[in-house]
Protein backbone atom coordinates (compact mmCIF):
# COMPACT_ATOMS: atom_id res chain seq x y z
CA UNK A 1 0.00 0.00 0.00
CA UNK A 2 3.04 2.23 0.37
CA UNK A 3 4.19 1.79 -3.21
CA UNK A 4 4.13 4.32 -5.99
CA UNK A 5 4.17 2.64 -9.39
CA UNK A 6 5.76 4.61 -12.22
CA UNK A 7 5.74 3.99 -15.96
CA UNK A 8 7.28 3.82 -18.43
CA UNK A 9 10.78 2.92 -17.31
CA UNK A 10 12.24 4.72 -20.31
CA UNK A 11 10.86 7.12 -22.90
CA UNK A 12 12.22 8.43 -26.18
CA UNK A 13 10.62 11.55 -27.63
CA UNK A 14 11.45 13.74 -30.56
CA UNK A 15 12.16 17.41 -29.98
CA UNK A 16 8.92 19.36 -29.86
CA UNK A 17 6.87 16.34 -28.84
CA UNK A 18 4.93 15.66 -25.65
CA UNK A 19 6.46 13.47 -22.95
CA UNK A 20 4.03 11.73 -20.61
CA UNK A 21 5.00 9.85 -17.45
CA UNK A 22 2.42 8.12 -15.29
CA UNK A 23 2.27 7.20 -11.62
CA UNK A 24 -0.26 5.31 -9.53
CA UNK A 25 -0.61 4.92 -5.78
CA UNK A 26 -2.70 2.93 -3.33
CA UNK A 27 -2.54 4.81 -0.04
CA UNK A 28 -5.47 7.24 0.02
CA UNK A 29 -3.80 9.13 2.87
CA UNK A 30 -1.19 10.51 0.45
CA UNK A 31 -1.87 14.18 -0.14
CA UNK A 32 1.34 15.59 -1.57
CA UNK A 33 2.69 14.50 -4.95
CA UNK A 34 6.00 15.97 -6.11
CA UNK A 35 7.96 15.27 -9.27
CA UNK A 36 11.74 15.35 -9.21
CA UNK A 37 14.13 15.76 -12.13
CA UNK A 38 17.60 14.21 -11.97
CA UNK A 39 20.51 14.74 -14.35
CA UNK A 40 23.38 12.22 -14.46
CA UNK A 41 25.74 12.58 -11.52
CA UNK A 42 23.45 15.02 -9.74
CA UNK A 43 20.86 14.81 -7.01
CA UNK A 44 17.16 15.03 -7.78
CA UNK A 45 15.68 18.52 -7.87
CA UNK A 46 12.04 19.36 -7.25
CA UNK A 47 10.33 20.12 -10.55
CA UNK A 48 6.67 20.59 -9.69
CA UNK A 49 4.25 19.34 -7.05
CA UNK A 50 0.51 19.02 -6.61
CA UNK A 51 -2.00 18.47 -3.83
CA UNK A 52 -5.26 16.59 -4.46
CA UNK A 53 -7.50 19.62 -4.11
CA UNK A 54 -6.72 20.50 -7.74
CA UNK A 55 -6.82 18.32 -10.85
CA UNK A 56 -4.07 20.07 -12.76
CA UNK A 57 -1.08 22.29 -12.11
CA UNK A 58 1.01 23.93 -14.80
CA UNK A 59 4.43 25.54 -14.59
CA UNK A 60 5.81 26.56 -17.94
CA UNK A 61 6.06 23.49 -20.17
CA UNK A 62 5.47 21.11 -17.25
CA UNK A 63 1.97 20.04 -16.20
CA UNK A 64 0.81 17.62 -13.52
CA UNK A 65 -2.58 16.00 -14.07
CA UNK A 66 -4.18 14.41 -11.01
CA UNK A 67 -7.05 11.92 -10.92
CA UNK A 68 -8.01 11.37 -7.30
CA UNK A 69 -10.68 8.74 -7.96
CA UNK A 70 -8.28 6.65 -10.04
CA UNK A 71 -5.38 7.33 -7.67
CA UNK A 72 -3.20 8.31 -10.58
CA UNK A 73 -1.14 11.34 -11.49
CA UNK A 74 0.98 12.14 -14.49
CA UNK A 75 3.63 14.55 -15.70
CA UNK A 76 3.29 16.09 -19.15
CA UNK A 77 6.23 17.87 -20.73
CA UNK A 78 5.08 19.97 -23.66
CA UNK A 79 7.41 20.94 -26.50
CA UNK A 80 10.06 18.56 -25.14
CA UNK A 81 13.65 19.75 -25.59
CA UNK A 82 16.98 17.88 -25.57
CA UNK A 83 17.77 19.69 -22.31
CA UNK A 84 14.82 17.88 -20.72
CA UNK A 85 16.69 14.58 -21.10
CA UNK A 86 16.94 13.33 -17.53
CA UNK A 87 15.44 10.82 -15.14
CA UNK A 88 12.11 11.79 -13.63
CA UNK A 89 10.78 10.48 -10.32
CA UNK A 90 7.29 10.82 -9.01
CA UNK A 91 6.76 10.65 -5.25
CA UNK A 92 4.01 10.77 -2.67
CA UNK A 93 3.74 11.57 0.99
CA UNK A 94 1.42 12.57 3.74
CA UNK A 95 1.78 16.31 4.15
CA UNK A 96 4.08 17.48 6.94
CA UNK A 97 5.33 13.93 7.27
CA UNK A 98 8.14 14.05 4.75
CA UNK A 99 10.03 11.20 6.36
CA UNK A 100 7.52 9.04 4.55
CA UNK A 101 8.20 10.34 1.05
CA UNK A 102 7.74 7.32 -1.23
CA UNK A 103 9.44 7.44 -4.63
CA UNK A 104 8.53 5.78 -7.88
CA UNK A 105 11.22 3.81 -9.71
CA UNK A 106 12.01 6.57 -12.20
CA UNK A 107 11.64 7.21 -15.93
CA UNK A 108 14.63 7.91 -18.11
CA UNK A 109 13.60 10.45 -20.73
CA UNK A 110 15.65 11.01 -23.88
CA UNK A 111 14.68 13.82 -26.22
CA UNK A 112 16.28 13.67 -29.65
CA UNK A 113 16.75 16.69 -31.93
Partner 1 sequence: DGGITQSPKYLFRKEGQNVTLSCEQNLNHDAMYWYRQDPGQGLRLIYYSQIVNDFQKGDIAEGYSVSREKKESFPLTVTSAQKNPTAFYLCASTGPAEPQHFGDGTRLSIL
37 binds partner 1 (CB under 8 A): no
- Residue among 42, 51, 58, 68 that touches partner 1 (CB under 8 A): 42
Rounded to a whole number, what is the largest CA-CA distance in the chain? 41
Q: How far is CA 63 from the centre of its chain?
A: 9
6/74 with CB nearer partner 1 = 6
Q: Kindly state the smallest distance separating residue 44's Cβ from partner 1, in Å.
A: 5
Do β-strands 102-103 and 86-92 pair in parallel, antiparallel, or remain unpaired? antiparallel
Beta pairing, strands 10-14 & 107-112: parallel
Which positions touch partner 1 (CB under 8 A)?
A: 6, 9, 34, 36, 41-46, 49, 89, 95-96, 98-99, 101, 103-106
Amino acid sequence: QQQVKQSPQSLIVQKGGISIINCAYENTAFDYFPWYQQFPGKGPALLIAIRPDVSEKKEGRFTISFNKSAKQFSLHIMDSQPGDSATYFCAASIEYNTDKLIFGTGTRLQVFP
